[in-house]
Structure 1
Amino acid sequence: MLAIAGFATIIVLLAVIMTKKLSTMCTLIAIPAITCIVIGDGGSMSKYMLDGIKIVAPTGAMFIFAVLFFTIMGDTGVFERIVQAILSVVGTDPVKICIGTLFITMITHLDGSGASTFLITVPAMLPIFEKLHMDKRVLATTVALGAGVMNIVPWGGPTIRAAAALEIPVTELFSPMVIPQIVGIICCIAVVAGLGLKEKRKLGDMSCKLELMSDALTNKTNDLQRPKLFWFNLILIIATIGALVASILPPVGCFAIALVIMLAVNYPDVQMQGKLIDKHAKAALMMASVLFAAGIFAGIMKGTGMLNAMAVGLASAMPETMASHFAVIVGVISMPASLLFDPDSFYFAVLPVLATAASDVGLAGVDLGRAAICGQMTLGFPVSPLTPATFLLVGLAGVDFGEHQKHTFLWAWLVSLVILAAAVVIGIIPL
């Protein structure tokens, strides 16, 4: 009975989220709450909700401070300076242009926002691609790979969702994935270099000289930029990420302290600090609200026993020959699964069930979490029709969505599989 109720809850949850009948936050609260009442356990629902919120609270707080830190840091102009430095050396060589585009994308995606990444990178590089008559699909693919491989970072949406859904610290999930992520970045460099070389052969010798316009870099001077504090801000970013990976402080502590230092040094005026926080708070709070709603969903599913009942059912149905390889199987299908599940549906509804089922055959939930972030809405999000940012990418690049998928899908899947293979080789995902 509980297993049936649980599967029905998840099916309805997925259907409502994917058809956009309700917002993700409302769906994650309403659907399990109704199920809890229907199965006769409504009297304990408030306890289940609070238990779930307590689990995701540290992750939600970290996300708020991380988004504020990176978005306000962007106002200082530090990222624009880095973009200019990269563009100053790429010249008119298609190979260098593609590699430069990749690095610009990875830098601008530090805030974990696909929309802002595409809004900065594509307009900056599109005039260069058009001037040299390079294939704009290559631009879209390069930006997609850069954003996808960087979306594995611990403050990125998929990793945060996976940690929250599995009820584990985000650093425990991510820290061992640093080496596989670096391998994935190297793979991305190789892929985009190959794409650039293909363009170079197609275009032949380009003798034209390209003037890098400041407008293309979105580097317009404004009162918020702090060029004299560039090195301080860059060191602060590096130190913050280093402290996070090394677990010197809890994740929320790393970003909270970094945010305070950044604001105090760059914008000592209290009123200006308030304006900047107000400016960027909406995006942070919207995602945090979804995380807390996910905590409520997980709390009800776990507290009522539905999650465990579903896991037992899945474990009993799983062929014994596949059980020990379950994590790798999840890793292999994680990137294509982005075409079927949006991040909320997969990480909050599907992954907990898979992880609990896998635990019955000796696999840890964190194994499945690491396998999932190899591709599910990391490398997969810039080709998924379920993410609005994908359409922003193809719209800005002037590329047909279907053509973008055909040009990018296999490359993104390849990088995802390389990351998975690296994780298997170093032993953080069991084969």
Structure 2
Amino acid sequence: MLTVLGFCMILTFLVLVITKRLSVVVAFIFTAIAFGVIGGFASEMGDMMLAGILKVTPTAVMIVFAILYFGLMIDVGLFEPMIGKILSFVKGDPLKVVMATAIITILVGLDGDGSSTFMITVSAMLPLYMKLGMNRLVLACVVGLGAGVMNMIPWGGPLVRAAASLQVEVSDLFIPLIPVMICGLLWTLFSAYILGKKERERLGVRTLGTDMAQGMSEHAASVETSNGGQAKLFWFNWLLTILLMVFLVMEVLPIQILFASAFAIALFVNFPNPKEQQERILSHANSFVMICTLIFAAGIFTGVLSETKMMDSMASSIVTVIPDWVGAHMPLVVALTSLPMGFIFSPDAYYFGILPIISETASNFGIAPVEIGRAALLGHSTTGFPLSPLVPATFILIGLVGVDFSDHQKFLFKWAFGTTIIMTIAAITFGVIPL
């Protein structure tokens, strides 16, 4: 009975989300209430939902302060001088242009928002591609590769979803993935080098016109002096950000406390006026309110699913039909199928509907939920999100660059799947996921 009820609950949620009958938040809550009542758990449902919310609260707190911190760093122009210097350096060399595209994407991608990464990077680089006659599919590909790997950061959507749905600590997912993520970024730079070299061989190195060169120089100068007096705090902000990353890796304090403390320091130093501090917080409210609402709604859903033992019952049923040799290698199977799954399931459907069942099933073979979560992050909604027709940011990218969606998919897929393969090999090598 619980097995059937659990599968019906998951299926109902997936249908509501995929067909867009309800928003994800409403679908989470309505489905949880409906199946809690149907299963005869009405009297206990409140405690179950609350238990689910409490488990995801640390994740929501981390998201709030991470978004606020990196939003503030972008507001004060932390990355703009570096971007300006890069634009001045590349001049008319297609290889340098493509490499600069990758570097700028990685820097801007620190904010954890794929859409803003696309908008900022494409806006900075597209004029160069057009001036030099470069293939715009290369621009979309390299930006997609860089943003995909950077989407693995803790304040990005996929890792938050994985942590909330599997009810594991964000740091347990992310910290072991750091060397794997670095390998993914190195692959991104290598891919950019190969693509840039091909463009250089096709077009040669050109001399930019006077107007273009002057415009780039003015851009570099303007970003260095942006925000008036805030430019004087440039090195302070860089030092604070570097220290934050170091302390995060060293796990000096819980990740939520690190981001909260860093944000408070940065906000006070950059904007001493209380009114300005309030304005900075409110300017980024939309970014974290939506995702935190999603996280708490997911907590309600998974709370009912797990506390009623539906998830346990479903996993036990699945174990009986999975061969032992497949179950023992579940993380590898999840890693290699995670990117293609992005063409079928949206991020919410995959992480909240599919992954918990896979994780519970894998636990019967002695595989921890955190290992399944890490495996999923090697492809779904990370390296694969710029390819997926189910992710709105994908259409922002192709719209800005001005390329056909099918052409973009064909061009990017082999490079993106290559990223997943490289990171999967690295994850196995470093013991992040078992073979």
Same fold (TM over 0.5): yes
Q: Letter of the 1:263 partner, please give it.
A: L
Q: Letter of the 2:245 partner, please give it.
A: I
- Mapped to 2, the partners of 1:12 and 1:220 lie a distance apart of 52
RMSD: 1.6
Aligned to 1:141: 141
SS in 2 for 1:74: helix
Aligned residues: 431
Aligned to 2:271: 267
- Mapped to 2, the partners of 1:80 and 1:329 lie a distance apart of 41
* CA displacement at 1:222 relative to structure 2: 5.9
Does 1:86 pair with 2:90? Answer: no
Q: Mean Cα displacement is larger for which, 236-245 or 302-311? A: 236-245
* CA displacement at 1:119 relative to structure 2: 1.2
Residue-by-residue CA offset, 1:143-199 (whole Å, 9 max, x unaligned): 000000111112211111111211111111111111111111111111111111111
Does 1:375 pair with 2:379? Answer: yes
* CA displacement at 1:84 relative to structure 2: 1.3
Of 300, 305, 314, 1:296 maps to: 300
Whether the 8 Å contact between 1:165 and 1:294 is mirrored in structure 2 is yes
Change (3 A) 1:386 1:151: same
- Mapped to 2, the partners of 1:202 and 1:295 lie a distance apart of 52
Question: What is the 5 A alignment of 1:329-408?
Answer: 329-408=333-412
Q: Letter of the 1:369 partner, please give it.
A: G
Q: Letter of the 1:188 partner, please give it.
A: T
Question: What is the 5 A alignment of 1:12-23?
Answer: 12-23=12-23
Aligned to 1:322: 326
TM-score scaled by length of structure 2: 0.96
Whether the 8 Å contact between 2:87 and 2:220 is mirrored in structure 1 is no
Aligned to 1:3: 3
- Mapped to 2, the partners of 1:142 and 1:225 lie a distance apart of 34
Aligned to 1:188: 188
Q: Letter of the 1:38 partner, please give it.
A: I
- Mapped to 2, the partners of 1:408 and 1:213 lie a distance apart of 32
Aligned to 2:105: 105
Whether the 8 Å contact between 1:214 and 1:220 is mirrored in structure 2 is no
Aligned to 2:431: 427
Residue-by-residue CA offset, 1:261-285 (whole Å, 9 max, x unaligned): 0010000000001111111111111
Change (3 A) 1:146 1:46: same
Percent identity (aligned):
42
Change (3 A) 1:220 1:118: farther
Aligned to 1:117: 117
- Mapped to 2, the partners of 1:34 and 1:185 lie a distance apart of 44
- Mapped to 1, the partners of 2:235 and 2:400 lie a distance apart of 31
Residue-by-residue CA offset, 1:280-311 (whole Å, 9 max, x unaligned): 11111110010011111110000111111111
Residue-by-residue CA offset, 1:294-352 (whole Å, 9 max, x unaligned): 11111000011111111111111111221111110000011111111111111111111
- Mapped to 1, the partners of 2:221 and 2:279 lie a distance apart of 25
- Unaligned 5+ runs, structure 2: none
Deviation >6 Å, runs of 4+: none
- Mapped to 2, the partners of 1:185 and 1:117 lie a distance apart of 15
- Mapped to 1, the partners of 2:253 and 2:343 lie a distance apart of 36
* CA displacement at 1:243 relative to structure 2: 1.4
- Mapped to 2, the partners of 1:179 and 1:221 lie a distance apart of 35
Aligned to 1:36: 36
* CA displacement at 1:99 relative to structure 2: 1.1
- Mapped to 1, the partners of 2:418 and 2:14 lie a distance apart of 27
- Mapped to 2, the partners of 1:189 and 1:200 lie a distance apart of 16
Whether the 8 Å contact between 1:77 and 1:225 is mirrored in structure 2 is no
Does 1:280 pair with 2:278? Answer: no
Change (3 A) 1:95 1:48: same
SS in 2 for 1:288: helix
Does 1:174 pair with 2:174? Answer: yes
Q: Mean Cα displacement is larger for which, 24-33 or 128-137? A: 24-33
Does 1:156 pair with 2:156? Answer: yes
Residue-by-residue CA offset, 1:209-235 (whole Å, 9 max, x unaligned): 551165699949765771111111111
* CA displacement at 1:208 relative to structure 2: 3.4
TM-score scaled by length of structure 1: 0.97
Whether the 8 Å contact between 1:60 and 1:288 is mirrored in structure 2 is yes
Aligned to 2:235: 231
- Mapped to 2, the partners of 1:81 and 1:430 lie a distance apart of 42
Q: Mean Cα displacement is larger for which, 119-128 or 197-206? A: 197-206
Whether the 8 Å contact between 2:48 and 2:303 is mirrored in structure 1 is yes
- Mapped to 1, the partners of 2:139 and 2:252 lie a distance apart of 38
Question: What is the 5 A alignment of 1:201-212?
Answer: 201-209=201-209, 210-211=212-213, 212=216
- Mapped to 1, the partners of 2:32 and 2:321 lie a distance apart of 24
Change (3 A) 1:282 1:217: farther
- Mapped to 1, the partners of 2:136 and 2:220 lie a distance apart of 16
- Unaligned 5+ runs, structure 1: none
- Mapped to 2, the partners of 1:34 and 1:217 lie a distance apart of 59
- Mapped to 2, the partners of 1:419 and 1:291 lie a distance apart of 27
Whether the 8 Å contact between 1:83 and 1:217 is mirrored in structure 2 is no
Whether the 8 Å contact between 2:49 and 2:300 is mirrored in structure 1 is yes
* CA displacement at 1:64 relative to structure 2: 0.6
SS in 1 for 2:320: helix
Whether the 8 Å contact between 2:65 and 2:263 is mirrored in structure 1 is yes
Whether the 8 Å contact between 2:163 and 2:373 is mirrored in structure 1 is yes
